[in-house]
């Protein structure tokens, strides 16, 4: 199957981003202190990566988390890469710096809200290392152990994605 056909078969037409409320439910009760490595097999633009980063960051004694992802659609893959990139971190810092140079008490209420938002976003980016490891999860081969495989697989091949994730966890010492 050629790349253009894969995009049509498993690309944007199978892209249903996970809403933050659903991602929150997926992660409810998860102790992120035990999780250091995560795989997101069909990342889209990175909603589940963002959710695990936020869940990790909300824990009092959080530590950095490493997320590997696969995304078959080149357009979505680029969006996901940017969302967790040093480039985005620099852009946020460029917005944050002028406020940081001023006294916090001199900021307006709206500026204080924006200051807190930017500060949190920068912390999330610094605490989360994200790598694109492959395009097609179904052909991804690794010996790496993942503490968590978190996914919203494409509907057309959800069963194959689920079976592949279970196989990976069983082979590399995880639980299914």
Which of 159, 133, 131, 135 has the alpha carbon at shortest distance from 1?
Answer: 135
CA–CA dist 135, 132 (Å, integer): 8
Q: How confident is the model at residue 15 (pLDDT cuts 50, 70, 90)?
A: confident
- The dihedral over CA atoms of 134, 136, 137, 140, expressed in degrees to the nearest 10, equals -60
pLDDT in tens, 46-65: 999 999 998 888 775 667 88
pLDDT, the chain, mean = 87
pLDDT in tens, 83-118: 999 999 999 999 999 999 999 999 999 999 999 999
Q: In the predicted model, is pLDDT for residue 68 greater than 60?
A: yes
Give the CB-side neighbour count of residue 108, counting CA atoms within 13 A. 2
Q: What is the predicted pLDDT for the residue at 176?
A: 43
DSSP of 124-145: HHHHEEEEEEES-GGG------
Residue 67 bridge partners (DSSP) = 38, 130
Which of 62, 70, 63, 56 has the alpha carbon at shortest distance from 27?
Answer: 56
* pTM of the full structure: 0.84
């Amino acid at each position: 199957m050629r790349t253009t056909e894969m995009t049509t078969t498993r690309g944007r037409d199978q892209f249903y981003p996970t809403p933050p409320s659903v991602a929150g439910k997926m992660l409810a009760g998860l102790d992120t202190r035990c999780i250091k490595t995560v795989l997101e097999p069909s990342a889209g633009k990175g909603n589940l990566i963002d959710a695990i980063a936020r869940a990790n960051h909300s824990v009092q004694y959080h530590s950095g988390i490493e997320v590997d992802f696969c995304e078959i659609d080149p357009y979505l893959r680029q969006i996901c890469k940017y969302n967790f990139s040093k480039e985005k971190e620099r852009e946020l810092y460029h917005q944050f710096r002028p406020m940081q140079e001023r006294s916090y008490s001199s900021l307006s209420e709206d500026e204080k809200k924006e200051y807190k938002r930017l500060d949190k976003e920068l912390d999330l980016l610094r605490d989360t290392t994200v790598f694109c490891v492959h395009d097609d999860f179904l052909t991804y081969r690794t010996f790496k152990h993942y503490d968590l495989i978190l996914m919203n697989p494409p509907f057309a091949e959800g069963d194959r994605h689920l079976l592949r994730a279970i196989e990976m966890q069983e082979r590399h010492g995880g639980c299914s």
